[in-house]
Amino acid sequence: MQDIGVAVIGFGLAGRVFHAPFVSAVPGLRLQAIVQRRGDEAAIAYPQQSTGVRVLRSVEEAITDPQIQLVVVATPNDTHAALARDMLRAGKHVVVDKPFAASAGQACELASLAQECKLVLAPFHNRRWDGDFLTVKELLAAGTLGRLVTFQSRFDRFRPSPREGTWKETANPANGILFDLGPHLVDQALALFGTPQTITASVRQERDQSSIEDAFDIVLTFSHLRATLSATMIAAEAAPRFLLHGTKGSYRKAGLDPQEPALVGGATVPRMGAEEEWLREPQAMWGDLVIAPDPVTAPGKLERSTVRTEPGDYRGFYANVRDAIRGTDQLAVTADDGRRAIRLLEMARESSREGRTLQVDLS
């Protein structure tokens, strides 16, 4: 089949690290253009003479380019919905970096427009392709921990002072850690467990002179378990990325998926199919499993081991988008997934503001 032409709008961290390298590594997708209004970073990273990638200075050039069928929106958060809408109206398929939109209302409008135009619209919830998350899915599917009782998932950062001169530190409902990291944590929980029954949240500012939400704790209750999702920008010593307790044992995983730091450090993503995996987590970072082989009669007899982390691979996200555009597979992360995640984050703010537990309705 003919390659799908792709344009990435924006060449900050998202476009440079999470999008352009993985688009380039997936057969069937061709990175045609990068929209960077100012600066030469994109031209240096992707010289046109050797890569064929053109650097455009305006969004309008991408809209009118017939070679571009798929557009990746990797711009400041509050511009996501408007750019996605414009691209859909121009007949382009769209991937939207998180947050999918600044409100559930915007997300619903985008989903309806994509359906009306018969176009693929995918929120970039790439953390479903994190190695640690894939490992958690495997453990739960195998019943290794028995009936899961508590699930803790968190992203910790250490940035105690606000950075100057960045839109990410500007007061805006679409900015802040809740809408930056929250979409990943919430989407993973929804993908694992479905719709929760209740939500109780604390969304707050912990740093001095912070203009954005920089910490949150979200507690979701399901019929069978309690899930806690957390993030902070003041954690010099990070808590476990995942901590799960079940009736047969526990799983604890520290550290983050190695794909982002590898790319920030200059690694190159190999073309998909060239090798089975592109990055495997070092054994020293594997998670710890503590199991009671006979929890009823001998609960104190425990077996300890490490669990090899499944290889993460963000190429899988773009391979699925390619197949959905071609009509050979269902979209793994749908526009409605994006809407549901944003709605739950809105409810987290509401719960925090009102100091109460809310019944969840994501319809």
Per-residue pLDDT of the chain (363 residues; tens, 9 = 90+): 899 999 999 999 999 999 999 999 999 999 999 999 999 999 999 999 999 999 999 999 999 999 999 999 999 999 999 999 999 999 999 999 999 999 999 999 999 999 999 999 999 999 999 999 999 999 999 999 999 999 999 999 999 999 988 999 999 999 999 999 999 999 999 999 999 999 999 999 999 989 999 999 999 999 989 999 999 999 999 999 999 999 999 999 999 999 999 999 989 999 998 665 788 899 999 999 999 988 788 878 899 999 999 999 999 999 999 999 999 999 999 999 999 999 999 999 999 999 999 999 998
CA dist., res. 144 & res. 97, Å (int): 34
Decide: residue 317, CB within 10 A, 0-12 exposed, 13-18 middle, 19+ buried. buried
Evaluate whether 4-126+316-331 and 128-312+345-354 have a shared fold: no
Contact between 89 and 113 under an 8 Å Cβ cutoff? The reply is: yes
Contact between 247 and 294 under an 8 Å Cβ cutoff? The reply is: no
Beta-carbon contacts of 46 under 8 Å, excluding residues fewer than 6 positions away, are 20, 31, 34, 53, 55
Query: CATH fold of 4-126+316-331, please?
Result: Rossmann fold (3.40.50)
User: For the chain, what are the domain ranges?
Assistant: 4-126+316-331, 128-312+345-354
Nearest partner of 205 among 169, 247, 249, 243, judged by Cα: 169
Residue 204: the pLDDT is: 97
Contact between 58 and 35 under an 8 Å Cβ cutoff? The reply is: yes
Domain 128-312+345-354 has CATH 3.30.360.10: yes
Residue 164: the pLDDT is: 87
Residue 296: the pLDDT is: 80
Residue 275: the pLDDT is: 64
CA dist., res. 181 & res. 179, Å (int): 6
Residue 1: the pLDDT is: 81
Two tokens at 43? Answer: 């031209």
Q: 0.85 cut: is pTM over it?
A: yes
